[in-house]
Amino acid sequence: MLESKRRAIIFLTLSLLLAAIAGFLFLQKIKDMNEQLGEMVEIYVAGRDIPSRSLILPDQLEPRQIPKKFADDSYVTEMASLQNQVTVVPLSAGDIITKNIIKPATTVRDQNNRLVTVYSSGNIIFDQQLEALDRVDVIVSHKAGGQPVTEVFMKDVPVAMVAKSNDEFRGVALEIPFEQVPAFIHQQHYADVMRILKANVGQGELGIPQPFEQPPQEGTQTQTETGETPQVPGEQPAPPTSTNPPAAGQQTPPAPDAGTPQAPAQTTPVPNPGG
């Protein structure tokens, strides 16, 4: 074999060996980087321009894969969390949607209603923590004519949404007819104390526990502890019967006839103190 040909084979073998080693090292480095980055996670971005204060629709979104290591907690990873949400800033195609730029869509039952935010403060007291769709009664205490007065200001007001900070209840947004909004805000600012009570939503009947039983209805007979049946109003009392049998040699007195008038019982007159 020629010397030049032998050298060419040696160099070709070395180059292939070095290329194989370089490829193995490259793949190992990629594997190590993937292990450091972690698995991929899917986030959502704007697929097209989304105006601010407009309801986010599914066809306006696009998924994007990024390493889980770089996925911030503010990124939206579930499409269901964008339901009934709006953006507070306009978005362009490709912009990442984060939780701090979205808010729940404001929906009221009537276009003439308004949402009034009420936060807990020194003169505003919530007796219970509330949730959306609850109903409340508003009680105010103020002075009228120099005298303290406590009265019911509003009843059965729906709660549209709840404000929380660090999972701590802060206040609510109440849905109030527009014509009553000025009066409510006036009481909110100037009432001595405003208490907001959770009202019953009216679902189902509340059971009355023992000892708070309902009294028997009029016209029904109930058995008492002594075994006697209470008298129904308007019914003549039954004649008393003797429970002791007559003694030996003594006749049983005849029962009074309903058609025979009875002599009136003798009563002792009560003296009148006034003379």
The position carrying tokens 């793949």 is 27
Exposed (0-12), middle (13-18) or buried (19+): which is 194, by Cβ within 10 Å?
buried
Angle at 180 between CA 174 and CA 184, to 5 degrees: 60
More confident residue, 26 or 232: 26
Query: pLDDT digits over 4-58, tens only?
Result: 788 888 888 889 999 999 999 999 888 887 776 667 888 999 998 888 777 788 8
What integer best gives the mean pLDDT of the chain? Answer: 76
Query: pLDDT digits over 191-200, tens only?
Result: 999 999 998 7
Q: Which of 240, 220, 245 is nearest to 230 (CA)?
A: 220
Q: Which of 174, 193, 196 is nearest to 128 (CA)?
A: 196
Distances in Å between the Cα of 136 and the Cα atoms of 156, 174, 195 are 5, 9, 10
pLDDT-based confidence at residue 137 (cuts at 50, 70, 90): very high
Cα 187 → chain centroid: 25
What type of residue is 145?
A: G
Strand order in the sheet with 193-198: 113-119, 168-177, 147-165, 135-144, 193-198, 124-126
Q: Which residues contact 161 (CB under 8 A, 6 or more apart)?
A: 104, 115, 132, 172, 173
Residue 208 to residue 223: CA distance in whole angstroms? 21
Helix (H) or strand (E) holding 181: helix 181-190
pTM: 0.43
pLDDT of residue 231: 52
